Structures are given as structure tokens and as C-alpha cells.
Structure 1
Amino acid sequence: MDLKQLKAFIAIAQLQSFSAAAKMTGISQPSLSRLLKQLETEMNVVLVDRYHRPLQLTAAGLFFYDKISALLIELDAITHMTQRLSAPSKALNIGFVPSVLYGLLPEVIAIFKRQNPDIEVNLKDISSYQQIEALKSGEIDVGFGRFAHQDPWIQQILLRHERYLVALPKAHPLANVKEQRLIDLASSRLILYHQTHLPASITASSISSTNSKKTKQRVEPIADSVTEPLLYLFAQHGVTPLRTSKVSDLQVALGLVAAGEGITLVPASLQVMRTKQISYQRLIHENVTSPIYLHTLKDFIHPKVPDLLSAIYEIYEKRGITYRRQQFV
């Protein structure tokens, strides 16, 4: 069994066609067929049912594909990391989710560049979960995200928690209420904008109904598993919004709020957006926050990442932001 055989099998399994796999890999159909046959002979297992069109994997083939494809992805990650260790980049490639760009990230980058004038900095707009694969492939060296990750290749530091604010149209009845409660927002249309969800292990058993006990307003039952981030925040307080809409990103959500189509929750750094049409108000719930994480690889830390972390903490000190100083290991 060799790598060429495994890659041939993966291509055939994914495309369900010898001709399509040949085109993708640049290997002739007879050669692909021979590599697959060699693999099956060595294993003494039939992996592909050749009598169906499109081709189908046998039960053994499905099991083997599931396991071996994960191993090949890991092998690719190891290869990229080894190449980077042998020839470290002179640039620092930083991934970020758009919401942190409206916060302190520009100041952090300015300080970092001033202290490291010889390093090239490249910023890439990329979602929290996409950053994990981008770190493994070498597309980025470090990432600012909003979600915790459980990945054996990645190490993560919680930088701080940022309070959520309610974004309401200026004409909304609650637009001038300085301290908002989630239960009072349940009848307004909630605009959802996250493209990635929380892990499915978050269940209703962890949800508190404290707020619902303090009010006579009826609260709808909470689903067994709430993974949409904004809905989860409501669910933590025993609240289910009566109406929701989903849009592609945060900017679109704020555009709809400005147009009077609903409300949403945003990290406090976003309160500078569309202030003529939107009223941003504080929530009384102190635990309704959006975390900011910094993550990088466990086995390969770009030599300038510690300087970036120092720049972050320097800004926090100047702004009086509460944080716990940490270092990557």
C-alpha cells in the first residue's frame, strides 16, 4: 500500500468516476484502475462496486474512505508545517473575522508594525472555523476568531469577552431604553447572521430559565439543542424569539435593522456602524458576551506571534480593558 494508491482511491471515491478522477489527478484511466486493483489486492477487500453508474463504494470502501481521507488531510498538514519549518516566512499572515476589524485590531496592527518595521503583515478576512484549515495549510500564521475550537493541531488564547449590544431601528419602541432585557426583545424579529454554529453538544440541559421565572410573559419551549449563536444567548435566559430571519453576514443584518426590518445583537465594537438609523443599547445581562480568541498552530508558532500578543496587551492596558495575560506554549 503506497500513497499513490491511496490518492487514486480517494479521487475515485469522491468523483464516482474513473474518467473524472483521471482528469483531476492527471493519471490515465488504465493506471488509476490498476492502482485501485493493487490496493484492493493488497488488502484482500473490494472497495469499489464497479457495476454501478456512478461508481459506488462497498460498505468496506465507505469505512476505508472515511478513515483514510482524514489521515491524508493530516499528512498534508504535516507536510505544509514541515516545509514552513525549513523555510520560515518573512511575512506574518493574520486571519480575522470582520467584527474584530471594527474594534481594536487596527490599533494592534499599527503598534505591531511600528515595533516590527521589517516584517510584512498580510490581513485576510476569513471565518473562525475556516481559520483552522487555513492555519494547517499555511494560508495564515495566526487568527482572530469568535469561537472556541477543539482541534489537536491548534492552540488558542482567550483574549477577552466583548459585551453584546442590542441594535434597534431608531423608530423601535425600545430604541431609547438604556438597559435592555432579552425577554422584552422576544416579540421583535431577530436577524441572525452567523454562518457557523456552536458545537451540537450545547443542550437545553445547560440553559437557565432564570429570567423567565421573573416575568409573567409566556416563553416558548427551548429546543433540545440550540447551536445558532444568537439564539443560544437568548436560550441561556429561557427566551425564544417569536420571529427570526437569517442573512449572509453582519453587514447585511445591520442594513436590515437600519431599514426597520428587525433587531439583532452585535459586539460593542460595532456600535459605530449606521448610527443615524440604528440605536445601540446595553443589555442588563452581563454574561451575554462575544469572546475574542487568538489561535495558532501547536507545533509551529511564527516567531512574530509573541510580538503580536504583546501589542494586543499594550492596547488593553491603555484602554483599561480587563484581561488575563497569557502566552502560547
Structure 2
Amino acid sequence: MELRHLRYFCVVAEALNFTCAAERLHMSQPPLSRQIKQLEQEVGAELFERSSRGLRLTPAGVFFQQHALQILEKVDATTEATRRMARSQRTLFGIGFVPSVFYGQLPTLVRDLRQRDNLELSLAELTSVQQIQALKAGRIDIGFGRLRIDDPEVEQEILFNEPLVAALPLGHPLEGTTPNCEALARYPLIIFPAKPRPSMADMILGIFRRQRLKIDVVQEANELQTALSLVACGIGITLVPEQVKRVQREGITFVSLEDKSLTTPVICSRRRGEKPSPIMQEANAILEVLVENRRTGRYP
């Protein structure tokens, strides 16, 4: 299978007409039809329903289109980034991160690296699972997440464990207290991200499950900021990493938990067995200082 097959398929899937698609691709219809048929044979599934009324995507075709578009977008983005790097004679360094790690010290890493004249940073908001995929594909060079994921091609290092805190709407009965999980379980819970899973949502659910506490998940949000907005609206409460307390949001208060062992790790992921580049060596040195500041209670 070649990239052109994916491009042909996506054009046909959008037009749902071989003649129109062939015109867009500046080719004749018979070769295009043959290419799509070959693609279906290679995939092992019919991607289109063909009838007198025209073309229609099969369920397999809908699934294939979604992923084909993602692949082509990534290829185009990588190509453009490579061109920019070549034009500027700069080294490209990709950083993946989950949003909740960027409320603390990690922005200092980005700020310090940006001081280098020969470096172009590429920042990508990715879940922990997506970071592993991006590392293996070479789209990022280092990732910061919260889930340990076993993969032979990726090494992970826990930088530090961060306490969890409860985000509550102002005026909540637990405001000003230090609640335990049993107290938290009495109130509707908002979890994030809703997908993809596994994620921090599963980590939070596991805390209550291990204590055999029944909880009412009233809402699942895809993003941390959305979850906090829902809290501010009074829809429920949520658990977040401690550094999120730095977010200034109206209508929200944060309280520490009684159980100080309830923490979430900040995990750094890198490709395994790869000799560190000069940029990676510098990033590692900056991280070492930041982690030490965190562990000793000093912040930049």
C-alpha cells in the first residue's frame, strides 16, 4: 500500500463519485477504479457500496477514511516541518505533553530551550498513549505524561509523584476541609479525559474502586479546562494534580486530600537505546535541575 492509494481513496470517499474524483486527481476514471479495487483487496474489505444510485461508504470504509485522513495529515505536517527545518538550518526537537503537566515547572524547560538559535521546538498536546506512538514514529523526541505504558521501544522515567487535590465549586460543603475518599464519593464526580483511554480518568476511578466506594460519574470531559468549567458551574467535583492549583479560575476552590499517598506521577518518555543528541543532553540537564527544585520545595 502506498500513500497515493490513501490519497485516491480519500478523494473518492469525499466525492462519492469516481468521475468527479478522477477529475480532481487529473486522471481518467478506469485507472482510479482499478486502484481503489486493488486497495480493497489489500485491506481485505469492501470500502464502498456500489449501486445504481452511486457510491456509499461501508462501515469499514468509514473507519478506514478516518484513519487514512489522520495518516495523510501527519505526513503533510511532517513534510512541512522538515521543509521549515531545512530552510532555517535548524534542528527540530519535538515535545509531547498532557495539559496537566504544564502548569508547573515544565514551561521552564521550553523557555530555556527556546534560547538556542539553532533549535526549532515543536509542541504537541498528546495523551500518554499517543506520546508513545508519536515517539516510535519520530514525531516527538520526548514526552511528559502520567501513565506508565510498557513498550520495548520506549523508556519511561518517573520524575516525581504529585499529590492530588479536589477541585470544588465555591460554597461546596467540602470547602475548607481535608476530605477523604469516602467524603468525596458522596458528591457527583467529573472525570477527564473521556477518550482515548486508558487515561488519568481510569487512574481516578481506580482510587475509588480500590476502596470499594461507589461513585456517581456525572460527566466525562475531554479536556482539563472543560472539567474545571463544569466544576465552576456546580455540576460536580473533580480530582486534579496539585500544580493545577496555579490556574486562576472563578468559581473554583481547591482542597488537599486527607490521604497524602494519593498521588499521580509525572513521567518522562524517550526512545529506548538512542544515543542522546546535544539537544536531548541539554533538555535532560534542565530537567534534572527542575526535578531537584520540585523535590526540595524550590521553584524557579
Query: TM-score, length-normalised on structure 2?
Result: 0.69
Q: Does the aligned pair in 2 maintain the 1:13–1:56 contact within 8 Å?
A: no
Task: Extract unaligned runs of 5+ from structure 2.
Answer: none
Q: Does the aligned pair in 1 maintain the 2:194–2:220 contact within 8 Å?
A: no
CA–CA separation in structure 2 for the residues paired with 1:99 and 1:297: 22
* Structure 2 residue 112 is matched with structure 1 residue 107: no
Match for 1:313 among 280, 288, 297? 288
Percent of aligned positions with the same letter in both sequences?
29
CA–CA separation in structure 2 for the residues paired with 1:111 and 1:5: 41
In the alignment, which residue of structure 2 is the partner of 1:98?
A: 99
Give, as a single letter, the amino acid of the residue that structure 2 aligns with 1:242.
D
Alignment length (residue pairs):
279
State the SS of the aligned residue for 1:253: helix
* Cα shift at 1:258: 3.3
What whole-Å deviation, never above 9, does each CA across 1:36-92 have from its counterpart, x for those lacking one?
567899x9x9967875454678xxxx7xx99xx99xx7xx99xx79x98xx896132
State the SS of the aligned residue for 1:173: coil
Q: Does the aligned pair in 1 maintain the 2:153–2:271 contact within 8 Å?
A: yes
In the alignment, which residue of structure 2 is the partner of 1:162?
A: 162
CA–CA separation in structure 2 for the residues paired with 1:176 and 1:20: 65
In the alignment, which residue of structure 1 is the partner of 2:204?
A: 230
In the alignment, which residue of structure 2 is the partner of 1:145?
A: 145
In the alignment, which residue of structure 1 is the partner of 2:185?
A: 186
Give, as a single letter, the amino acid of the residue that structure 2 aligns with 1:318.
N
State the SS of the aligned residue for 1:260: coil
In the alignment, which residue of structure 2 is the partner of 1:203?
A: none
* Cα shift at 1:255: 2.9
CA–CA separation in structure 2 for the residues paired with 1:5 and 1:109: 37
Matches within 5 A, 1:1-329: 3=2, 7=6, 18=18, 22=22, 27-35=27-35, 51-52=50-51, 54=55, 90-112=91-113, 117-122=116-121, 124-128=123-127, 129-135=129-135, 138-151=138-151, 153-178=153-178, 180-199=179-198, 228-274=202-248, 277-298=251-272, 303=277, 304-320=279-295
* Cα shift at 1:29: 2.5
Q: Does the aligned pair in 1 maintain the 2:162–2:264 contact within 8 Å?
A: yes
State the SS of the aligned residue for 2:177: coil
Q: Does the aligned pair in 1 maintain the 2:90–2:120 contact within 8 Å?
A: no
What whole-Å deviation, never above 9, does each CA across 1:232-289 have from its counterpart, x for those lacking one?
3322322232351233422232233334332111100011223774332222334432
Query: TM-score, length-normalised on structure 1?
Result: 0.64
Q: Does the aligned pair in 2 maintain the 1:186–1:241 contact within 8 Å?
A: yes
* Cα shift at 1:105: 0.6
What whole-Å deviation, never above 9, does each CA across 1:127-158 have from its counterpart, x for those lacking one?
22443454455543322222333456544333
CA–CA separation in structure 2 for the residues paired with 1:241 and 1:280: 20
| Structure-2 change in CA distance of 1:160 and 1:5 (3 Å) | same
State the SS of the aligned residue for 2:287: helix
State the SS of the aligned residue for 1:188: coil
| Structure-2 change in CA distance of 1:24 and 1:174 (3 Å) | farther
CA–CA separation in structure 2 for the residues paired with 1:26 and 1:157: 51
Q: Does the aligned pair in 2 maintain the 1:190–1:244 contact within 8 Å?
A: yes
Q: Does the aligned pair in 1 maintain the 2:165–2:254 contact within 8 Å?
A: yes
CA–CA separation in structure 2 for the residues paired with 1:23 and 1:54: 16
CA–CA separation in structure 2 for the residues paired with 1:241 and 1:126: 29
Q: Does the aligned pair in 1 maintain the 2:91–2:120 contact within 8 Å?
A: no
CA–CA separation in structure 2 for the residues paired with 1:122 and 1:54: 43
* Cα shift at 1:5: 8.7
State the SS of the aligned residue for 1:315: helix
Task: Extract unaligned runs of 5+ from structure 1.
Answer: 201-225, 323-329
State the SS of the aligned residue for 1:176: coil
Q: Does the aligned pair in 2 maintain the 1:197–1:229 contact within 8 Å?
A: no
* Cα shift at 1:309: 2.0
State the SS of the aligned residue for 1:294: strand
Q: Does the aligned pair in 1 maintain the 2:90–2:119 contact within 8 Å?
A: no
